[in-house]
C-alpha cells in the first residue's frame, strides 16, 4: 500500500477546485487549437506561458498538459470532417476518417477516435503511474557524466527524428546551445555574449524565445500559407459507434495504445511518429489491407489511440529524468523551471503532490475530453467556421501583451518579435524550430554537467566511457550519428542515383509544430 499512498493523495490535489478548473481550461483550449488548423500545441503552450505565472506549479502544469493531450483529440475532428489534419499527429487519420465521413459515417469515425483516444490515454497513464517511479529510482544514481550523456543524446535524437532535414535540425540545436550561453557564466560569473547590454546580463529568458520562435513564428508563417480549402463540414449524426464497429476496432485500439506508449517514451518519438507507426502496423496486420484508405475503422482507431498514448507517455522522460522528449515537453520543462521546480529523478520523492497531481489530472482530463468529443462534438464542429484570418490578430495580441506582463518589460516584446522573425525564417529555410528551443532549455544543464564531470575526471574525457551508463549512452549517441552516414555511403556505392522520396505527411507536420 505504500506505493499507492502518494498516488491517492495526488487525486486529492487534482480535485481541488482550482486545479479542476485549470484542467478543464487546458483540455478545452487543447481541443480548440486541435480543431483549428494553424497553431499546434507547442505554439499554443508557448503563447500561454505568461498565464501560468500567477498560479501554483501543479495547477500550471495540469493546464499545459491538458492543452497537449487535448490537442490530440481535437486534431481528429478536422481530419475526419474536412480532410485537413488540425494536428500533425492526426495526418494519417485523414485517410480512413475522411473516407468514412464520405460514406456518411463521420459520427462513427469520430466516436471510435474518441474512444480509442480515451483508452490509449488511460492505458498510458496507468503505464506512467507504474513505470515512472521505477525509472526515477534508477536515475537517482545518475551523476554529472550520465546527465551530460543523456542530454546530448536527447538533443540529438529530437533533432534527428524530427521532420526536417537532419543536418539542419542539428544545426538548429547547435544554435540553441549557443543562445543558452548568453549571460553570466555559471562557474566564473563572467559575462558572455552580452555586448555590454544590461538586458542580456542575466541571459536570454526562455519565455520570449519560446513565444517568439514557436508562437509568433508560426503565426507569421501562416500569414503566408493560409488554409484556403475550408469547406462546410459534413453533418455529424450518431457519434456512438455500433457494437460491431467497436468489436472490429478493439484490437487496433489495444495495439495502438501499447505501441504509442512505448514510442512516446523515446526522445523524438511522440505523438506524430506513433500515429504513423500504428497505422502502418494495422495495415500490415490486416487480412485485406486494401480496405485501408477506403474507410476502415481500424485505420482511425489505431493512430488515434497511439497518439494519445504517446502524448501521455512522453511525460515520463521529462518527469523522471528531467530530459524533455520533444519540443512540447521542452516548453513544459521551461514552465516548470519558471515555477522553481527542476524536473528530475528527485521529483517523485521530493514533490509527490506535483508529480501525482499532474499524472492523475490526466485521468480527469481524458474523461472531460471524452465528454467533449462525443456528446458535445457538435459545438466544436461549429467552431470550424471561424476563419484563420480572424484568429491571427487575436493570437498576436495575446502574445505581445502576454510577454509584456511577465516582467513589465518592453524589451521582452522586442525579443519576441525578433525571435518571431527568426522562427519564420527558420521555417522558410527548412529548419525545424523544435530542436533549437529544446537545446536552449537543456543548454545550461548540459554545460554545467559537462564541466562538473570534467572536474571529477580531472580533465580526462575518457572518464565518460569508463562509467557504464554514460558509456552506453555515448555509444548510442555515436551510433545515431554514424549509422545513417555509413548507410548512405553504402547505398551510394550500390546505386548511384539518390532520389529524394517525399513523405506525404511532411507538409502538414510542418504546419503545426
Site string for other proteins, 278-317 (x = CB under 8 A): --------------xx------------------------
Where does this chain touch other proteins (CB under 8 A) — which range of 60-68, 146-154, 173-181, 465-473? 173-181
Using CB under 8 A, which of 244, 288, 408, 499 touches other proteins? 408
Q: Is 502 a residue that touches other proteins (CB under 8 A)?
A: yes
Q: Are 435 and 213 in contact (CB under 8 A)?
A: no
Long-range contacts: 127-133, Cβ < 8 Å, 24+?
A: 127/261, 127/313, 128/312, 128/313, 128/315, 128/316, 128/359, 128/362, 129/7, 129/359, 131/316, 132/315, 132/316, 132/319, 132/320, 132/348, 132/355, 132/359, 133/3, 133/320, 133/348
- Closer to other proteins by CB, 167 or 237: give it: 167
Nearest approach, Cβ of residue 15 and other proteins (Å): 25
Using CB under 8 A, which of 424, 440, 464, 477 touches other proteins? 424
Using CB under 8 A, which of 134, 187, 199, 235 touches other proteins? 187
Interactions with other proteins, residue window 358-397 (CB under 8 A) = 387-390, 392-394, 396-397
Nearest approach, Cβ of residue 435 and other proteins (Å): 12
Interactions with other proteins, residue window 435-494 (CB under 8 A) = 447, 450-451, 454-455, 458-461
Where does this chain touch other proteins (CB under 8 A) — which range of 63-71, 146-154, 172-180, 350-358? 172-180
Q: Is 165 a residue that touches other proteins (CB under 8 A)?
A: yes
Candidates 360, 250, 255, 256; CA nearest to 307 is 256
Q: In Å, what is the CA distance from 349 to each residue of 58, 132, 329, 372? A: 15, 11, 21, 34
Nearest approach, Cβ of residue 230 and other proteins (Å): 6
- Closer to other proteins by CB, 164 or 357: give it: 164
Beta bridge partners of 183: 192
Using CB under 8 A, which of 140, 201, 401, 479 touches other proteins? 401
- Closer to other proteins by CB, 15 or 223: give it: 223
Using CB under 8 A, which of 29, 177, 321, 369 touches other proteins? 177
Interactions with other proteins, residue window 315-334 (CB under 8 A) = none
Interactions with other proteins, residue window 81-140 (CB under 8 A) = 83, 94-95, 102
Interactions with other proteins, residue window 213-232 (CB under 8 A) = 216, 220-221, 223-231
- Closer to other proteins by CB, 218 or 332: give it: 218
Candidates 42, 59, 67; CA nearest to 365 is 67
CA 139 – CA 299 distance, rounded (Å): 38
Q: Are 409 and 303 in contact (CB under 8 A)?
A: no
Q: Is 244 a residue that touches other proteins (CB under 8 A)?
A: no
Beta bridge partners of 191: 184
Nearest approach, Cβ of residue 109 and other proteins (Å): 15
The SS3 assignment for 183 reads strand
Residue 351, C-beta contacts closer than 8 angstroms, at least 6 positions apart: 341
Nearest approach, Cβ of residue 225 and other proteins (Å): 5
Using CB under 8 A, which of 164, 303, 357, 434 touches other proteins? 164
Nearest approach, Cβ of residue 372 and other proteins (Å): 23
Pairing between β-strand 183-184 and β-strand 191-192 as defined by DSSP bridges: antiparallel
Number of CB atoms found within 10 A of residue 3's CB? 9
Nearest approach, Cβ of residue 177 and other proteins (Å): 5
Query: SS3 letters for 87-105?
Result: CHHHCCHHHHHHHHHHCCC
Burial class (CB in 10 A: 0-12, 13-18, 19+), 323: buried
How many residues bind to other proteins according to rule CB under 8 A? 76
Amino acid at each position: 500500500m505504500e506505493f499507492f499512498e502518494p498516488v491517492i493523495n495526488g487525486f486529492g490535489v487534482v480535485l481541488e477546485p482550482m486545479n479542476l478548473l485549470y484542467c478543464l481550461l487546458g483540455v478545452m483550449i487543447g481541443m480548440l487549437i486541435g480543431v483549428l488548423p494553424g497553431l499546434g500545441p507547442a505554439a499554443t503552450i508557448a503563447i500561454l506561458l505568461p498565464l501560468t505565472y500567477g498560479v501554483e506549479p501543479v495547477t500550471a502544469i495540469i493546464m499545459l498538459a491538458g492543452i497537449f493531450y487535448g490537442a490530440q483529440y481535437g486534431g481528429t475532428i478536422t481530419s475526419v470532417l474536412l480532410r485537413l489534419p488540425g494536428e500533425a499527429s492526426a495526418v494519417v487519420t485523414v485517410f480512413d476518417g475522411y473516407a468514412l465521413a464520405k460514406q456518411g459515417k463521420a459520427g462513427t469515425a469520430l466516436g471510435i477516435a474518441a474512444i480509442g483516444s480515451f483508452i490509449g490515454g488511460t492505458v498510458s497513464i496507468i503505464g506512467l503511474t507504474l513505470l515512472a517511479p521505477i525509472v526515477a529510482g534508477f536515475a537517482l544514481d545518475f551523476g554529472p557524466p550520465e546527465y551530460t550523456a543523456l542530454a546530448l543524446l536527447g538533443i540529438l535524437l529530437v533533432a534527428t527524428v524530427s521532420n526536417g532535414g537532419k543536418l539542419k535540425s542539428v544545426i538548429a540545436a547547435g544554435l540553441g546551445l549557443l543562445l543558452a550561453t548568453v549571460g553570466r557564466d555559471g562557474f566564473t560569473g563572467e559575462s558572455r555574449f552580452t555586448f555590454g547590454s544590461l538586458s542580456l546580463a542575466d541571459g536570454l529568458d526562455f519565455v520570449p524565445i519560446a513565444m517568439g520562435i514557436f508562437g509568433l513564428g508560426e503565426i507569421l508563417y501562416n500569414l503566408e500559407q493560409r488554409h484556403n480549402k475550408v469547406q462546410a463540414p459534413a453533418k455529424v449524426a450518431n457519434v456512438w459507434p455500433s457494437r460491431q464497429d467497436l468489436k472490429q476496432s478493439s484490437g487496433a485500439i489495444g495495439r495502438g495504445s501499447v505501441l504509442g506508449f512505448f514510442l512516446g517514451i523515446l526522445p523524438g518519438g511522440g505523438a506524430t511518429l506513433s500515429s504513423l507507426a500504428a497505422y502502418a502496423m494495422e495495415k500490415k496486420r490486416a487480412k485485406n489491407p486494401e480496405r485501408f484508405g477506403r474507410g476502415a475503422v481500424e485505420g482511425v482507431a489505431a493512430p488515434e489511440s497511439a497518439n494519445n498514448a504517446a502524448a501521455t507517455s512522453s511525460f515520463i522522460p521529462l518527469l523522471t529524468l528531467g530530459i524533455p522528449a520533444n519540443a512540447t515537453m521542452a516548453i513544459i520543462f521551461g514552465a516548470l523551471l519558471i515555477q522553481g521546480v527542476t524536473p528530475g529523478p528527485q521529483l517523485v520523492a521530493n514533490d509527490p503532490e506535483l508529480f501525482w497531481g499532474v499524472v492523475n489530472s490526466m485521468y480527469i482530463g481524458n474523461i472531460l475530453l471524452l465528454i467533449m468529443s462525443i456528446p458535445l462534438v457538435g459545438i466544436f464542429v461549429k467552431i470550424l467556421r471561424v476563419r484563420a484570418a480572424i484568429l491571427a490578430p487575436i493570437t498576436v495580441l495575446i502574445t505581445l501583451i502576454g510577454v509584456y506582463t511577465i516582467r513589465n518589460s518592453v524589451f521582452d516584446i522586442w525579443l519576441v518579435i525578433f525571435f518571431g522573425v527568426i522562427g519564420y525564417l527558420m521555417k522558410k529555410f527548412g529548419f525545424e524550430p523544435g530542436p533549437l528551443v529544446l537545446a536552449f532549455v537543456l543548454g545550461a544543464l548540459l554545460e554545467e554537467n559537462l564541466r562538473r564531470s570534467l572536474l571529477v575526471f580531472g580533465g580526462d574525457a575518457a572518464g565518460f566511457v569508463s562509467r557504464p551508463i554514460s558509456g552506453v549512452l555515448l555509444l548510442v549517441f555515436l551510433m545515431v550519428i554514424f549509422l545513417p552516414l555509413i548507410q548512405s555511403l553504402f547505398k551510394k556505392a550500390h546505386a548511384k542515383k539518390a532520389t529524394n522520396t517525399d513523405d506525404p505527411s511532411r507538409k502538414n507536420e510542418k504546419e503545426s509544430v
